[in-house]
Structure 1
């Protein structure tokens, strides 16, 4: 985030100097803001958007994966990047202990169905930060309830 701002600021300063040289009756503040606007437009047009930069949710069929044996120090972003190699990731939820707030070493990833199937094949038994991951399709919470409870709901 800081790099684009610095680039726009530098280009705006150079633009302000150039405008003040070619049009000396222009106020320097107006020249600076004109340079900033021009630099912003140019920078926006030239910077390509990649799939990982967007925060848009994947709209097609999704699957939730259970990932076990995660390193305790891993962050959601690192897991999202790892699974994002196989398809769009909608969410990453790493489970924490309620009392201590520490991560428990497992979590859930919601991602595109096709990507999830690829990720299960590629990342199950995969060494990640000195831990061997266990990747499975997550079971729904309804599957754990007894049949009599399911019928009542």
Structure 2
């Protein structure tokens, strides 16, 4: 499947071609043509996102279980894209969440990667205790998050 960014670019290009054809056939003003292209730039990501969301939800159903990996000792400069690419070599990555400090917004050096359950062991075996951007990664299956009790609801 094509990535959502490529799909969005293709949809935007189709809109631009349609705007060009309309402008030349109907002799629209250049400002109106620019307006059509401008509007298509906002519509294309919406169409691309809805198609990719439908495709990913159907791939979730076809791939069975999705499990979460804890990834610790991440370099602070690593972003979601780099981590996704690293794990994608070992299986289907559904999502990447790198944790940030609420007050400073800086990354905290750990995160979570959701992968297809059948790819989990392969990723753990390949990446745990390996060096990534001069840091030794700690990769294991994430523990279930315990239920949080809201202290404000008791009274």
1:102-144 deviations in Å (ceiling 9; x for gaps): 0000001111011111100000012111111100111112399
Aligned with 2:101 (options 97, 101, 125): 97
CA distance in 2, matches of 1:141, 1:71: 24
Partner of 2:87: 83
CA distance in 2, matches of 1:77, 1:118: 20
Report the RMSD for the aligned CA atoms in angstroms. Answer: 3.4
Is residue 2:130 matched to residue 1:138?
no
CA distance in 2, matches of 1:111, 1:144: 25
Give the TM-score taking structure 1 as reference length.
Answer: 0.58
Is residue 2:77 matched to residue 1:73?
yes
1:7-30 deviations in Å (ceiling 9; x for gaps): x979xx9xxxxxxxxxxxxx899x
Question: How many residues of Structure 1 are paired with residues of Structure 2 in the alignment?
Answer: 116
Give the TM-score taking structure 2 as reference length.
Answer: 0.57
**1:91 is paired with a residue of what secondary structure?**
strand
Residue pairs, 1:39-50, within 5 angstroms:
none
Partner of 1:112: 116
Q: Which runs of 5+ in 1 are unaligned?
A: 14-26, 30-53, 146-153
CA distance in 1, matches of 2:90, 2:123: 6
Partner of 1:16: none
CA distance in 1, matches of 2:126, 2:114: 16
**Alpha-carbon shift at residue 90 of structure 1 (Å):** 1.3
CA distance in 1, matches of 2:92, 2:111: 17
